[in-house]
Copies of this chain bind each other. A is one copy, B any other.
Amino acid sequence: MAGKKREPKDCRDDEKTITHFYKGIAPAVKGLVDSCKGDDCFHHLEPTPIPTQESATQIINQTRRILFPGFFTQTRLDALNLEYNLGQETTELFERLSKQIILSIKHECLRYDQPCSQCIQRAHETALKFIQALPDLRAILATDIRAALEGDPAAKSFDEVISSYPGLFAITVYRMAHKLFELDVPLLPRMMTEHAHSLTGIDIHPGAEIGESFFIDHGTGVVIGETTEIGKRVRIYQGVTLGALSLPRDARNRFKNKKRHPTIEDDVIIYSNATLLGAKAVIGARSIIGGNVWLTESVPPDTKILLKRPELVFIGNGKKTTNKFKPRRKK
């Protein structure tokens, strides 16, 4: 399409009018500055900035490179240069993580007018504890990887699981964030899990307690709330919600930091789009929850719960047909 000659002249001519509009910017900026003084502007005008999503993402990626050496680097890694590589990555991670923890702690201190005593020291201490915990993180993630390989017939190799599976990524980030959550780091852990949520559609709160060999298949739409407890060798599918029952608005504050989410015991399987709500929902060991089930109560161990097959209405060209009829398999 020779659109060029169709382009109207004035599109080039009225360039000069731009200056007119520039005059309008100054008052607009003034309006923006003024509106910052009112209650309707949430700003963060502080001596120390708040941690950014970018830094949370860098911490996730660098920790992941350390946990799974050679999987997320273009550069060649072998048994010989491994120690240098890990040494450098770990030192960088220590600095990067310390800095963001400092920002997170100072931010809390300023926000809540607490004395910010020893917060730099606390931050470095916490960063070191996190790094010292990485071998254990590696070990529990190894159980998650094996669970994925065992749980999914489409899984070709553990390399595929590590490099491509969103469920493993979400669990990896959750396990990092949960460690920082346990070490009382504010803000940063939630930023990390929200990064995973954004990439995978899997929303795991850093406060949840999740045992080894955890597998999430597909994962989009999964929600695991703050006070959820999950045992060992549990498997869940896309769209599963482990959530809270809603509270009367007044009651809400009393419920902060109270158990509000389900407990899933060992070896439970929960199929796609099942919804389990509230602290009363304790799913006994080895039980199976079918797809689309909606539960707010307890289930004994070794129990299989299925939605009673819903009645379907078949309307075949006018007349009601049954589904006995078997069509030829598509070639």
- Quick check: is A182 within 8 A (CB to CB) of the other chain? no
- Quick check: is A241 within 8 A (CB to CB) of the other chain? yes
- Expressed in whole angstroms, the Cα–Cα distance for A207 and B154 within the complex equals 10
8 Å CB contact of A7 from B39, B116, B221, B330 = B116
Residues of B within 8 A of A119 (CB): 8, 10-11
Residues of B within 8 A of A269 (CB): 246
8 Å CB contact of A78 from B14, B33, B46, B53 = B46
- Quick check: is A96 within 8 A (CB to CB) of the other chain? no
- Quick check: is A183 within 8 A (CB to CB) of the other chain? no
A310 in contact with B307 given A45-B82, A47-B4 (CB within 8 Å): yes
Closest to A285 in B: B327
Are A249 and B154 closer than 8 Å at their CB atoms?
A: no
Please state the number of chain copies in the assembly.
3
Interface set, chain A 264-309, CB cutoff 8 A to B: 265, 269, 271-273, 275, 277, 282, 284, 291-295, 297-308
Are A220 and B218 closer than 8 Å at their CB atoms?
A: no
Residues of B within 8 A of A306 (CB): 312-313, 315
Interface set, chain A 83-125, CB cutoff 8 A to B: 83, 86-87, 90-91, 94, 98, 106-107, 109-111, 113, 115-121, 124-125
Nearest chain B CB to A36 CB, angstrom units:
6
Nearest chain B CB to A47 CB, angstrom units:
4
Are B50 and A163 closer than 8 Å at their CB atoms?
A: yes
A194 in contact with B223 given A69-B44, A252-B153 (CB within 8 Å): no
Nearest chain B CB to A158 CB, angstrom units:
6
- Expressed in whole angstroms, the Cα–Cα distance for A260 and B152 within the complex equals 12
- Expressed in whole angstroms, the Cα–Cα distance for A142 and B187 within the complex equals 20
Residues of B within 8 A of A246 (CB): 269, 271
A312 in contact with B307 given A24-B128, A190-B164, A199-B198 (CB within 8 Å): yes
Which of the listed residues A4, A145, A291, A302 has the most CB atoms from chain B within 10 Å of its own CB?
A: A4
Are B311 and A90 closer than 8 Å at their CB atoms?
A: no
Are A128 and B226 closer than 8 Å at their CB atoms?
A: no
Q: Mark A38-54, 1 if CB is under 8 A from B, else 0.
A: 01111111111111111
- Quick check: is A178 within 8 A (CB to CB) of the other chain? no
Residues of B within 8 A of A98 (CB): 18, 21
- Expressed in whole angstroms, the Cα–Cα distance for A82 and B36 within the complex equals 9
Nearest chain B CB to A24 CB, angstrom units:
5
- Expressed in whole angstroms, the Cα–Cα distance for A68 and B308 within the complex equals 48
8 Å CB contact of A50 from B22, B71, B312 = B71
Interface set, chain A 146-192, CB cutoff 8 A to B: 150, 153-154, 156-160, 162-166, 186-187, 190-191
Residues of B within 8 A of A303 (CB): 314-316, 321, 323
Can you report 13 A-B residue pairs in the complex whose CB atoms are below 8 A from each other? A2-B79, A6-B113, A8-B115, A42-B158, A43-B77, A44-B70, A49-B75, A107-B159, A156-B187, A223-B272, A263-B329, A284-B327, A291-B294
